Chain A
Amino acid sequence: MSEKVEKGRSKAAPFIPADSDAAVFLGNPHIDNLMSVVIALGAEIWADRQRLKVVERLLETEGKATTAMVEAYVPTAAEKEAWETERMAMVERVYSVLSRDTSNARPFGEERQF
């Protein structure tokens, strides 16, 4: 049960917790944490970029952009398609290094000599 739900209103039952927070895939839990950080930061940046796009659109079409107008804005199908394209392009620009071939990676001092 969520801590934020009064017991009398809850329909939840006891559960068996997962322990996935303990998973280490990159050799050091802090490095694993940093992956979560950079993905979360990307999401925060995109949220700002998305909001800016809506503001720009509203200024173009309505001449003003209030918070309520930004929240209520329903994008066109074309806008959604373009936003998704731009979002994926951002993801590729930022994260593609994660899948680079590291088979030749060497610690400093053990690099190939010229």
Chain B
Amino acid sequence: MINRRSVMGLFAGAASLVAAPFASRAAQRATPRANEMFQTRDDLPPPPKNPENVPGTLAPRGRNGRMERLPEIDLESRMDFLRSVRTFANEVMSPAAGKRADDILASKGISPDTVMPMQDAIALLQDDPVVGARTRAWTSVQQLTWKNIKAECEDNADTYLSEMEAVDNRGPGTLELNPDLEMPDYTRHEIHIQPGGYVGNDFAGHMYDYGTNGFYTGRNDQDALHMTAAFGLPIPADGKVRRILDIGTGIGQLALALKERFPDAEVWGIDVGGPMVRYGHLRAVERGMDVNFAQRLAEDTRFPDNHFDLVTSYIMFHEVSPQGTKDIVNEAFRITRPGGIFYPIDFNLKNPFPRTAYGQYRRWWDHRWNNEVWTIKYRTNGLPDLVRAAGFDLNEEGPVALPRFGVMNATKPA
């Protein structure tokens, strides 16, 4: 594993030690708020015991549960700071920008709850300094986060490559890389402006792990969202869960969480990004978890028909083109066994359009400048209809695998 990892935190703290001058508003801010988007279970099992001295890995600075500390205190501190600025942008600057947007609309005699075309919302808000400052701050934090972790990996490329190379062929799980894989163009974008995207940088997995932890503002440094999802997913009516596939697995956070819930099942994680599954394999080896990773397309998994009891994905489909979405759903139907379940977790589609002008502006910014290339089309390309058309019986009412996210509980008819 990466030799040294981050301790960003979910520790229960001693409030009495909070410095008195900051004890009021600042103390409230530092305590992770009940975030509207990211909600996790509080009954999750503790992290598995980590094996020590895995060959090929260097002595770590220490570990916070599932996550190793970053290699140097200065880098760790800068990343902590960027996470705090991101929290500030989310919790202070965003409401201020939203209020400013309402004021701008009011000054023009437009009701704040008017649903308007996206280009109209952009035209109204794009020149306002408060709105612009929030957008700029969030974007700068995103860019600086990637810049910091990318520099660490690339400046120590040999070290990090050697760590991965040392365990490429080591178990308990397997790793399959396919350098000649023909990738659809939609997979090659720098999603979230991550340098090189998921396919184009050898340290995509490292960057994704630490970069998205910043995005989650510390709420997922124990994979708590993935664990919540894994423990909330439904199982087939006959109770049999022998083989599980997580498509678009990235660095395998949901795949590993599923292995924790179903330790006797054969678990696979596939992703188009070779560096992503390579890092995922490294994480699994270091934890001694028997999960198999392969660089394959979700459209062409190369597994037999009717093979899996459970097929999952975690926030994958909003990064997929409309054609890719259709092809992946059909492939999922082919490999799910009769009575098996396909449950892709992604953003809730029940309200596909933002309810405010500022929401429209932000969606455009996220799409255009945070490089969420496919997310707007995801909202309107009819994923539930595609799931039904593939042959699944779709239940959109429950269970909720991950609070606030969409319900897509699809069963292949027996």
User: Which B residues are in CB contact (< 8 Å) with A4?
Assistant: 154-155, 157
- 8 Å CB contact of A88 from B26, B129, B204: B26
Give the contacting residue for A20; candidates B17, B19, B134, B193; CB below 8 A: B193
Q: How many residues of B contact A (CB 8 A)?
A: 83
With A15-B196, A18-B193 known as contacts, the answer to whether A5 contacts B136 (CB < 8 A) is no
Scan residues 171-192 of chain B and give those whose CB is less than 8 A from a CB of chain A. 177, 179, 181, 183, 185, 188-190
Check A5/B72 contact, CB under 8 A, given A81-B14, A82-B17, A85-B26. no
Closest Cβ–Cβ distance, residue B338 to chain A (whole Å)? 36
Contacts of B17 in A (CB 8 A): 78-79, 81-82
B contact residues around A98 at 8 Å (CB): 93, 130, 133-134, 137
C-alpha gap A88/B23 in the complex (Å): 11
B14 is contacted by which of A3, A40, A78, A105 (Cβ under 8 Å)? A78
Partner of A47, one of B81, B84, B93: B81
Partner of A51, one of B77, B80, B132: B77
Q: Are B100 and A88 in contact (CB under 8 A)?
A: no
Could you tell me how many residues of chain A have their Cβ less than 8 Å away from some Cβ of chain B?
A: 65
Q: Are B139 and A16 in contact (CB under 8 A)?
A: no
**Is there contact, CB below 8 Å, between A15 and B13?**
no
Q: Would you call the interface of chain A mostly helix, strand, loop, or mixed?
A: helix
User: Chain A nearest CB: distance from B250 CB in Å?
Assistant: 15
Q: Which residues of B are found within 8 Å of A87, using beta-carbon distances? A: 30, 80-81, 84
- Flag if B15 contacts A40 (CB, 8 Å): no
- CA–CA, A25 to B359, complex, Å? 16
Minimal beta-carbon separation of A114 from chain B (angstroms): 25
Q: Are B177 and A11 in contact, with the CB atoms below 8 A?
A: yes
Residue contact A92 to B196, C-beta cutoff 8 Å: no
8 Å CB interface, B1-52 against A: 7, 9, 11-15, 17-19, 21-22, 25-27, 29-30
Would you call B371 an interface residue if the criterion is a C-beta within 8 Å of the partner chain's C-beta atoms?
yes
- Does A15 lie within 8 Å of B190, measured CB to CB? yes
Chain B residue contacts of A26, Cβ below 8 A: 129, 132-133, 136
CB closest residue in chain B, given A74? B62
User: Is A107's CB within 8 Å of the partner chain B?
Assistant: no
How many angstroms from the CA of A70 to the CA of B74 in the assembled complex? 10
Q: Does the CB pair A84–B161 fall under 8 Å? A: no
Residue of B nearest to A31 (CB): B136
Residues of A within 8 A of B61 (CB): 71-72, 74
Contacts of B144 in A (CB 8 A): 36, 39-40, 43
Is B73 engaged at the interface, CB distance under 8 Å to the other chain? yes
Contact A101–B11 (Cβ < 8 Å): no
Judged by a CB distance under 8 angstroms, whether B197 is at the interface is yes
Closest approach, in angstroms, between the C-beta of A105 and any C-beta of chain B?
8
Which residue from chain B places its CB closest to the CB of A10 in the assembled complex? B202
Q: Which residue of B lies closest to A83 (CB)?
A: B80
Q: Which of A12, A25, A77, A100 contacts B13 (CB 8 A)?
A: A77
Q: Is B189 in contact with A16, judged by CB distance below 8 angstroms?
A: yes
- What residues of chain A lie closer than 8 Å to B179, measured between beta carbons? 11, 13
Q: Which residues of B contact A (CB under 8 A)?
A: 7, 9, 11-15, 17-19, 21-22, 25-27, 29-30, 61-62, 72-74, 76-78, 80-82, 84-85, 87-88, 92-93, 96-97, 100, 103, 126-127, 129-130, 132-137, 139-141, 143-144, 148, 153-155, 157, 161, 165, 177, 179, 181, 183, 185, 188-190, 193, 196-197, 199-204, 274-275, 278, 369-371
4 nearest interchain CB pairs? Answer: A81-B13, A15-B200, A99-B96, A77-B11
24 residue pairs of the A-B complex, CB under 8 angstroms, read A1-B196, A2-B157, A2-B201, A11-B179, A12-B274, A13-B274, A15-B190, A15-B197, A18-B189, A20-B371, A21-B143, A25-B132, A26-B129, A35-B140, A39-B144, A40-B144, A43-B81, A81-B13, A81-B15, A84-B13, A85-B26, A87-B30, A88-B26, A89-B30
Chain A residues in the interface with B (C-beta under 8 A): 1-5, 9-18, 20-21, 23, 25-27, 32, 35-36, 39-40, 42-44, 46-47, 50-51, 54, 70-75, 77-92, 95-96, 98-103, 105
